[in-house]
Structure 1
Amino acid sequence: MKKQIVLLLLMTFLLNHLYADEKWTAKRIAANESQNESNVWTDFVKTFDLEKVPPKAIASIACDSKYWMWINGELVVFEGQLKRGPTPEDTYYDKVDITSYLKTGPNKIAILLWYFGKDGFSHNSSGQEGLVFQCDAIDILSDATWNGRIDRAYEYTSRPYPNYRLPESNIRFDARRGNFDWVKSDSENRGFRRVKIVGNAESAPWNNLVERPIPQWKNFGIKNYEQTVDLPYISKGDTLICKLPYNAHITPYFKIRSESGKVIEIRTDHYYGGGPPNVRAEYVTGAGIQEYESLGWMNGHHVRYYFPEGVEVLELKFRETGYGATFTGSFDCNDSFYNEMWQKALRTLYVTMRDTYMDCPDRERAQWWGDLVNESGEAFYALSPSAAHLTKKGMLELINWQRKDGTIYSPVPSGNYNRELPGQMLASIGYYGFWNYYLNTGDKETIEKVYDGVKRYLDVWQLNESGILEHREGDWYWGDWGTNIDKQSLFNAWYYLALKGYRNMSEVLGNNSEAVRVEKKMAEFKSAFNKQLWNGEEYRSEGYEGDTDDRTQALAVVAGLADPDKFTEIYQILQTQFYASPYMEKYVIEALFMMGYEEYGLERLKERFYEMVRDSKLTTLYEGWGVGRDGYGGGTVNHAWSGGGLTILSQYVCGVSPVEPAWKTIRIKPQLGNLSYAETENITINGKFSVEVSSNNKEYQVKATIPETSKAIVCIPDSYKNITLNEQLIWDNKELKNQAAVFLGKDNGYYQFQVEGSQLRFVAK
């Protein structure tokens, strides 16, 4: 018995050692004169000798709030570190491969740190600036041997400051007080002093350090603007407007000749995006030729530089950065409107991704989960699989920030916001949120981590004696922007979708008794929902007195609460009611496709989004149906919740979607509506798919490429009598003629065939 206990303890020790997190021996350091003031920039340097460069050198780096790193004068990391925090207490850290930047002999690490020093809708400030650096392969760690200084060239700008939602401050750099020569390998470390140690790597207020779960930013390098004045140009006190190729995250750059003491101002056309001021930059000139890049990212379609009189402008450029994913998806059809919509949705999606999914990249930069649900769905059809890491990060954060009473709220991370939006929270944990992530990735481990939190939040909701939700408003009783919002009906539909997602998660995790319990609850809830809220003509909650809400009807269909016997009435409603915002309009269009009214679904999609898609001045989609006074919620012009049309076009028009986790089984059920041709493709976690569908008076054709390890379920309208697969007859006059396909039966007017093989070509006549 003793031997068994000893063996068990030994195995436990070995497993803990094998799977342990980073072993931190580094200290948290700060400049000697640091007072933890907001918007402070600090320079750190460390010099050392290497007899031999190791085969692999991985540095672990943490800070509050952002850092830039050079080794031997070469830029290694452009804006490292994620905004805090993975939990309300903890901090992220980066792992960076620095091997290729090291050399034998003398080496120099230079790190510029930006401490926000204030909370925001996307950042939970620790209240203590500092740096942690550890690279065991070269035995370098942050300690009292490092040198540092407050960089006095960085200052506060004049007012106005960015609105309170943003943790970032404006950036002002005074070239009379400093420059970037200190990052060079051969520069002297003048003005530096030994740093002070402010704590262990993992100690309050930073607490646990959690490895960065998403890639480092893509750095597209310094680029030329599409449009500017002829250079060189001597300013007469002008604002030069430089056109960007599209809405992007950029850091502006210039090279000038000037006298000392002139103030240059930089902002984008989105400085007042969504209402209140966002971020801008100022630069105070030194004397002579000088170049400068303002390191805090901003976004927009144009960059506006104000140059005082007499400044000679030699170069104007920008650096684009963005989330570490690739544009691997595409869509094309015979109607240019939908092609443009798909591309604008993609651009809007990408510009709302960075530390977190964002509602917008200017006004808030906040991870609202109603937005994230739509954004994440779009990403699976448009971006490379690395985009899914941002969804996973958001899922873990949402549950890690769960309150003791079981409620959840967004945006998180956040230091100055904590209000629950019940509708968005139910959407987040449900079928289109957490479950859709699992369906596309097969990431069971993450589902295990969030599962208990999902159950705790569902337990917050209680049913009344009629079997539907007890009225509950949360902290912000919000259902959508706009008017005529039947919130209580919407919350009931979102609740059913949350139950659906939770039931599916229970099955995946082997909690079969819980899955059976929830399945029974769903059946009872559906019966009660229709008994209490369907009045014979429409869904309407007791006490709601507004016009018939198109959102409610659509969400009942999408959730599976409305049976086909109600589709005719709902279809008639969706032809006359237009209250949904661009956020909820995705579900309205989806309901039309699910009911089989795809022609009108495409028509309504075009009618509703026509203005923003055809807006030639913008490459992104609005928050509302208009901009400025014609919008709502602030009226930003880059809101990815408006990109639901991207999902509709790929998932429903081309008909491609996963039915088994990680795209192991793919359904291809095109719904062309009034289109004659459409195609889409992307790279999934299981490999690449492409689907091309065409239709004319004589034949209907589906060409598909699927991953080699996937199966496909291809659906062909049952109006066709003769069907071939790869030029072999498989169906004739309602009978299967070839074992190359397995007939799965009919479903809502479609023949269903299960097939294997990576190249498929169905022709129906």
Structure 2
Amino acid sequence: MANNEQWQAQWIWSGGEESPRNEWRCFRKQFQLHGEHILGEVRVKITADSRYVLYVNGARIGRGPVRSWPFELAYDEYEIGHLLHAESNNTIAVMVMHYGVPTFQYLRGRGGLLAQVEQTLGTELNVILATDSTWSTAIHAGYDTRSSRISCQLPFTEVMDARNWDDSWTNSSLESAGWELSTVIGPAGMLPWTQLVERDIPPLTEERVYPVRIESLSRVKPRSWGVALDLRNHFVPDSENHANNVRFCGYLSTVIRTKNPVRATIGIVDNGRLFGPCSLNGVWYGEEAFYGSNPERYLDVELDQGDNFFMMDVQGTTHGHAFHLAIDSDDWFEVASPLEHRPDTTGTRSTFATIGPFDHIEIIDHKPEHPINQSHPDYLRAKSITRADQLSEFEAWVNEVDHRYVSSDDVFSACVWKKHSVQLPIPYALQNAVIANQTAAAVPIYPGEHTELIIDFGKEYSGYIEFETEAAANTIIDFYGFEYRRDGWIQHTYGLDNTVRYVCREGRQTYSSPIRRGFRYLMVVIRNADAPVKLHSVSVLQSNYAVAEIGRFQCSDPLLGQIWEISKHTTRLCMEDTFVDCPAFEQAFWVGDARNEALVNYYVFGDDAIVKRCLRLVPGSQFQSPLYADQVPSGWNSVIPNWTFFWAIACLELYRFTGDKQFAEQIWPHVHNTLDHYLERLDAKGLLNMKGWNLLDWAPIDQPRDGVVTHQNMFFVQALRSAAQLTEGFDVKIAERYTSCADRLKEAINACLWSEDRQAYVDCIHSDGEVSKIFSMQTQTVAYLCDIADGERLSRLKAYIAVPPSDFVQIGSAFMSFFYYEALAKLGRFDIMLEDMRLQYGQMIDNDATTCWEMYPKPPEERPHPNVLTRSHCHAWSAGPGYFLGAFVLGVRGLNEGWSKVMIEPQIADLTWARGTVPLPRSGRVDVSWRADRQNNKLHIRIEAPKDLELSIVPPPGYEAVVELIELG
């Protein structure tokens, strides 16, 4: 941690808006170093709000900062001495992307940059350069600030017009028009960045990955017109300061103007969860009039000559997903403002207006929803509007949509909705676009149509798209990343606008996107090309947490080896500056997911710094809730109690892996704080009874948002026990207290939540006192895992774990399977565990998965499309085999804190051999290979391990271990 006093730099920005929406602002400063200044180490310290990209003399040095709370804002340090020139100008340049909206990894602050260049000579530290009012700044004119939100979890897509910006700004001595001097906004330590903390993890990797092939070539024609609208921030302006759900009731309206009567199709390519009926010239069309599958909806209409008044009911609940509206016709039309009678005072008239909101209510932290006010008299009366001039009757309710909330075009709908598409054979020479050589690919151009390539990277990746092209000015290249394709069908990323638009300047040019994206397939569409286009290369800078792939696993069943590999790759992609749920849709640090991901990481990569970072971030949410938020740092104030309990359990597991007592002592007050707040929510029966997002699995178990949820109470028992074990070494009284609390809660669960009739634990007791009639494998699994039952009840649970009753709700996600596998391991039923892996993960492999899916597929009759097998195709909460195969098939498990003592207890099940590697927490690794001689009941085990590692080797029951031990060191 650096004291604020160590900073001579001042926070700088422009003299304009404090927190502008989607602003891309550039800063630069030139300086000279005389000969003696090149000696020693020269470093730059830097941070910004919201994100930055740093250049020194034209070379990109780094990106940041890592996600952090604004009151503990992280800063980065880079060594730059090797890039500096003596006796000549040096240029430091920074592009800052300020979101101006909160996301699921960022709380809205204000625009700002803080940087200083320091030189160390011996023990002397000199500040060579620091941000102040002499730095130049300009808005990056290449980026369209009206680009749409990527998703409610993420900031904005990028629309880059290379014609509008000189990309030599990072090293040129020239400054064109538009540059001005920066404004100092305050010193280090100012609000909201009251404390600056040194980055606690290494820089993320940037590894160039080239595609494996061009998968398809098509000539296409997209819909005629489309936009993406941010209706959430328009209807509820205060929602720009948080990322909670909001509800509102109102209408969206516009005018479709024609020269002649025309046929047209109105398309809702992605409804942002706000789809409602619509009217054209007063004729209302319900959902049944639209065709297509949710969320895509299309309506064929006849447009009259002149102005056609269109209005859509957009009431509903939304986090901030964009509303994508598009129109297609073979004839001329334009979309015009329905408020043309009003004077345009801004010079940026929007083509849309809204009526309402006729009441809205913000939904925070999953509190019960209030009904939308559909009975409001003006809401009902507005349904009769047939012409734009009638809006004057609703003057108090009518507002023009701020042009900032309306994209200039909608790249997503242009890529998804194609009125015409013809797939063509792929010339082999076109594959040069994806081959890492010097030969460019000549992209075929079709007059009156666009050229679409679908590029397969072979695996899912997460990072930054880069490309090099040669094209005429005004050529548009659109990129759209998605995860799954089968037999020509694409699973579009609804709820995720995973696109980039690049408008070319004349000649050869390169572009590196500053925005992280996750995808396997990349659609590349060449538009408006009136001259040949060459693609020299397309690649992705794969970026993840810096780890070595130490862990390995192979066995006699190659399917299990494949499952381990996709688990490893999934976990790697979901390790950024924290663990994240998925690299495509959200990139959010979900606290509960990270507990399971940390265990996989220990066995695959052996890292603990990212785990400590994640665990330490969680208590920063206490200003939002003393129960701690379920995803942090985030503008969404949301609590899943189980996620907090998993966090407390993960704190103990980190301590057991590392033996880091200092960490245990530092994190303990925060564990103590939140668990005590949960204890305050016990009811008269001694049960946790609360309103909240009481989630465990997406399956149809009974887990209401108000009441006593059984699995939640059980995991609370486990969290209390974990807290007691965490503090045993330094606070025995608290340990005894929490053990006692856990015992009492266990007693209450057994007294109130066991059904004698069904001989099982009920799922819940509802807030009205009604006992649930639903019984699930989820609840029985958690009961067994958390040691809730004794005696005959325990025997019942063991039987259920081994043979799940068919009338119980079955496990519905790989996340829940993690706990099921823990229960099977505890029961010693490794045969069942491996068979379940083969079944559940095998279907992923059968469908060309390179990463683990978020969910198991629903039955075909419940899918929106037969090929929709899951939402996210890369989700690390599902990567459990990466842990279980190492911990139990190889059999490597720590016996004490810090793993100076390790057990090797292979579980052979139906396998004949296995080999692999498990990292150790301090240094080194354990290499294990075994082969079962079933005829002679012998297990031949070869082990390589550090000589100071104390080993306990346990063969399977009935087998004699024949050990070859190689001690290293």
Q: TM-score, normalised by structure 2?
A: 0.68
Residue number among 479, 482, 486 corresponding to 1:269 in the alignment? 482
Deviation (angstroms), 1:39 = 1.8
- Distance in 2 (alpha carbons) for counterparts of 1:516 and 1:685: 29
Q: How does 1:40-59 map onto structure 2 within 5 Å? A: 40-50=23-33, 51-52=35-36, 53-59=38-44
Offset at residue 136 of structure 1 (A): 4.9
What amino acid does structure 2 have at the position aligned with 1:290?
Q
Matched ranges for 1:194-209 at <5 A: 194-209=181-196
Describe the SS at the equivalent of 1:349: helix
Mapped pair 1:559 → 2:786: yes
Is 1:123 paired with 2:343?
A: no
- Identify the residue that residue 716 of structure 2 maps to in structure 1: 495
Q: Aligned in 2, Cα 1:129/1:141: closer, same or farther, shift over 3 Å?
A: closer
- Which shows bigger deviation, 443-452 or 534-543? 534-543
Contact 1:27/1:199 (<8 A) preserved? yes
Q: 1:287 to 1:20 in 2, by over 3 A?
A: closer
CA contact (8 A) 2:471 2:505 kept: yes
- Greater shift, 149-158 or 26-35, is seen at 26-35
Instruction: Find the counterpart in structure 2 of residue 570 from structure 1.
Output: 797
SS of the equivalent of 2:843 reads helix
| Residue of structure 1 in register with 2:873 after alignment | 637
Task: Point out the more displaced range, 257-266 or 535-544.
Answer: 535-544
1:522-671 paired onto structure 2 within 5 Å: 522-535=742-755, 537-540=759-762, 543=765, 544-562=771-789, 568-574=795-801, 575-577=803-805, 578-616=810-848, 618-626=849-857, 629=864, 635-671=871-907
Partner of residue 152 from structure 2, selected from 164, 177, 197: 164
Structure 2 match to 1:37: 20
Structure 1 equivalent of residue 562 of structure 2: 340
Larger mean Cα displacement after TM superposition, 390-399 or 27-36:
27-36
Query: Are the equivalent residues in 1 in contact too, given 2:856–2:869 (CA < 8 A)?
Result: no
Amino acid at match of 2:712: F
Match of 1:747 in 2: none
Q: Partners of 1:331 and 1:269 in 2: how far apart?
A: 29
Deviation at 1:157, TM superposition (A): 5.6
Q: Distance in 1 between matches of 2:967 and 2:761?
A: 44
In structure 1, the gaps of 5 or more residues are 1-17, 728-756, 761-765
Give 1:198 shift.
1.4
Correspondence for 1:104: 86
Residue 652 of structure 1 and its aligned partner are, at CA, apart by 1.7
Partner of residue 758, structure 1: 967
Q: Does 2:469 match 1:256? A: yes
Cross-structure match for 1:92: 74
Aligned pair in 2 of structure 1 residues 217, 464: CA closer, same or farther (>3 Å)?
closer
Structure 1 residues 223 and 343: CA distance shift in structure 2, 3 A: same
What CA distance in whole angstroms lies between the structure 2 residues aligned with 1:712 and 1:632?
Answer: 47
Q: Which moved more, 1:707-716 or 1:271-280?
A: 271-280
Alignment of 1:693 with 2:930, yes or no, is yes
Deviations 1:58-90 (A, max 9, x none): 32111012222222232222x22123x33x633
The aligned counterpart of 2:694 is: 477
Kept after mapping to 1: 8 A contact 2:211/2:456: no
**Residues 115-514 of structure 1: pairs in structure 2 closer than 5 A:** 115-137=98-120, 139-156=128-145, 161-166=149-154, 168-184=155-171, 186-191=172-177, 192-221=179-208, 223=210, 225-227=212-214, 229-230=430-431, 231-236=441-446, 237-270=450-483, 275-308=494-527, 309-310=529-530, 311-318=532-539, 319-385=541-607, 388-403=608-623, 406-415=626-635, 417-430=636-649, 433-462=650-679, 468-473=686-691, 475-485=692-702, 488-508=709-729, 510-514=730-734
> 1:446 offset after TM fit, Å?
2.7
CA distance in 2, matches of 1:541, 1:290: 60
Cα distance in 1 for residues equivalent to 2:843 and 2:83: 50
C-alpha displacement of 1:169: 0.5
Alpha-carbon distance, 1:535 to partner: 4.7
Q: 1:55 to 1:223 in 2, by over 3 A?
A: farther
CA separation in 1, counterparts of 2:116 and 2:444?
A: 45
Partners of 1:65 and 1:82 within 8 A in 2: no
Code of the residue aligned with 1:81 in structure 2: it is P
RMSD: 2.9
* CA shift for structure 1 position 566: 5.1
What is the CA distance between 1:313 and its match in structure 2? 2.2
Deviates more, 1:547-556 or 1:58-67: 547-556
**1:652-672 Cα distance to aligned partner (Å, 9 max, x none):** 222212222222221222212
26-35 or 496-505: which moved more?
A: 26-35
AA at the equivalent of 2:783: A
Cα 1:624/1:340, change in 2 over 3 Å = same
CA offset at residue 179 of structure 1?
3.1
Taking structure 1 as reference, are residues 33 and 223 closer, same or farther at Cα in structure 2, changes over 3 Å only?
A: farther
Q: Deviations over 1:712-759 (max 9, x none)?
A: 222223424x555549xxxxxxxxxxxxxxxxxxxxxxxxxxxxx836
SS in 2 for 1:419: coil
> Structure 1 residue 492: deviation in Å?
2.0
Q: How far off is 1:602 after superposition?
A: 1.4
Contact 1:334 1:677 in 2 (8 A): yes
CA deviation map 1:246-275 (0-9, x unaligned):
111132223333222232211101497663
Contact kept, 8 Å, 2:25 with 2:139, in 1: the verdict is: yes
Q: Distance in 1 between matches of 2:738 and 2:586?
A: 37
What are the superposed Cα offsets for residues 369-400 of structure 1, whole Å, 9 maximum, x if unpaired?
Answer: 12111111111111242xx2222122111112
Secondary structure at the counterpart of residue 402 of structure 1: helix
Query: What is the number of residues matched between the two proteins?
Result: 699
The residue that corresponds to 1:28 in the other structure is: 11
- d(CA) in 2 for partners of 1:19 and 1:284? 42
8 Å contact from structure 1 (residues 654, 671) kept in 2 = yes
Q: Aligned letter for 1:602?
A: L
Q: Secondary structure at the match of 1:498?
A: helix
CA contact (8 A) 2:22 2:100 kept: yes
Q: What is the identity, as a one-letter code, of the residue corresponding to 2:633?
A: P
Residue 65 of structure 2 corresponds to: 81
Q: Contact 1:163–1:277 at 8 Å: present in 2 too?
A: yes
Does 1:65 pair with 2:50? yes
* Counterpart Cα distance in 1 of 2:664 and 2:647: 13
Q: How far off is 1:216 after superposition?
A: 0.9
Q: Residues 194 and 464 from structure 1, CA distance in 2 versus in 1: closer, same or farther, beyond 3 angstroms?
A: closer
Secondary structure of the residue that 1:256 maps to in structure 2? strand
Judge conservation of contact 2:73–2:197 (CA < 8 Å) in 1. Answer: yes
Amino acid of the structure 1 residue aligned with 2:72: D
In the alignment, structure 2 segments of 5+ residues that lack a partner are 121-126, 216-429, 432-440, 485-490, 766-770
> Do the aligned residues in 2 keep the contact of 1:357 with 1:372 (CA within 8 Å)?
yes
Taking structure 1 as reference, are residues 565 and 133 closer, same or farther at Cα in structure 2, changes over 3 Å only? farther
Whether the aligned pair in 2 keeps the contact of 1:551 and 1:580 (CA below 8 Å) is no
Following the alignment from structure 2 to structure 1, what is the Cα–Cα distance between the partners of residues 720 and 29? 54
AA aligned to 2:84 is: L
Indicate the larger mover: 267-276 or 477-486. 267-276
Residue of structure 2 in register with 1:6 after alignment: none
CA contact (8 A) 1:162 1:170 kept: yes
Q: Which has the greater radius of gyration?
A: 2
Partner SS state of residue 89, structure 1: helix
